[in-house]
Structure 1
């Protein structure tokens, strides 16, 4: 039984979304990976990243279009990923770095604020200055 036009459109749309999702995950991975890492570690990290990404994309496609994996699903995912890396990735990286910096600053302030009273109590009990 051939698929209806609406189902085919949804499959292509979700393929494009999964390509964007893969691109965003790839940007996050580039931020986390670092610069000066031995090649064997980079190789292992790459393998683990692509396994995790495959699982996430498969779960996304399973949830959205019952994991219909025709050839054009892969084609649209790859084309969207290439488009994302070429044109959108620099902007997304800036936004991700901004969000990461703000979250880390917030966590640092919260930790310092909560640890300071504990230090005061500890120093007053132990008699240290």
Structure 2
């Protein structure tokens, strides 16, 4: 098996990309957290969602390692991912969740109003149709 030696510059670039990957994966997890706050989930569903998230995370990390580091798992890459996730959770997560929940609730209220008006319209059409018969 041929081992390719990466230059320090390449390793620094991979490390910075690993920070971005960790940051992005943390942001994706926050989407689940937002959905859980807007729509209440049972524990079984939460467990299934977490399992799917971690399978997705493993696939992303595997592809990242395969594409950027010839599939070789190196400590600095894991540390980079952890740093990225830590930065995201400590700096942005609280604000993203707050804004995300607000946006989802606002969109929900608009959708409910649209369905309510649509159902009222259908009721009127139904009444008119029944009068003709």
Q: Is the TM value for this pair above 0.5? A: yes
In the other structure, the counterpart of 2:49 is 45
Provide the C-alpha distance between the structure 2 equivalents of 1:93 and 1:32, rounded to a whole number of angstroms. Answer: 9
Flag as ranges the 4+ runs of structure 1 deviating above 4 A: 56-59
Q: Is the 8 A contact 2:18 2:78 kept in 1?
A: yes
- CA shift, 1:4, in A, is 4.0
Matches within 5 A, 1:1-129: 1-33=4-36, 37-38=42-43, 40-59=44-63, 61=64, 66-68=67-69, 69-127=73-131
Number of equivalences: 123
Unaligned residue ranges in structure 2 (runs of 5+): none
CA RMSD of aligned residues (A): 2.9
Change (3 A) 1:111 1:14: farther
Residue 58 of structure 1 and its aligned partner are, at CA, apart by 4.4
Q: Is the 8 A contact 1:25 1:53 kept in 2?
A: no
**Alpha-carbon separation, structure 2, partners of 1:123 and 1:84:** 55
